[in-house]
Amino acid sequence: FISGTDPDLLSTGIKRAYGVECQRAFFNEPLELKGKEPCIALIKYALMVDHYVTVLSVTDKEIVVGDPLTGRRVFSHIDFEKIWRKNAILLHRI
């Protein structure tokens, strides 16, 4: 269950507004995002509330995200995996 804006609708809006092709993808672990930055990840924010963040970088030890609510945040893979919905919107300039 995803609360808030549906990822497919967000992808369509990004393409229309910015000319960026978007692809929703599913992953098993955070390290799979490495090399796909920047991308938009869906995370759990509160009970029944999801939230989008931009994954800025992924290393073997941490994930750096840009959060529109709190700014730049750094997570260990373990901490990110606890809140991540295991999907992301991949961005490709047309």
| Contact status, residue 43 vs residue 49, Cβ threshold 8 Å | no
- Asked whether the predicted pLDDT for residue 33 surpasses 90, the reply is yes
pLDDT bucket at 1, cuts 50 / 70 / 90: low
Does 45 score more than 90 pLDDT?
Answer: no
Q: How many domains does the chain have?
A: 1
**What does the pLDDT read at residue 5?**
85
What Å distances lie between residue 48 and 3, 9, 38, CA to CA? 6, 19, 26
- What's the mean per-residue pLDDT of the chain? 93
For the entire predicted model, the pTM comes to 0.90
In a domain, 1, yes or no: no
Spatial strand order of the sheet with 84-93 comes to 20-26, 84-93, 39-46, 49-58, 62-67, 71-76
The answer as to whether 86 is a domain residue is: yes
CATH number of the structural domain spanning residue 71: 3.90.70.10
Would you call 13 helix, strand, or coil by DSSP?
Answer: helix
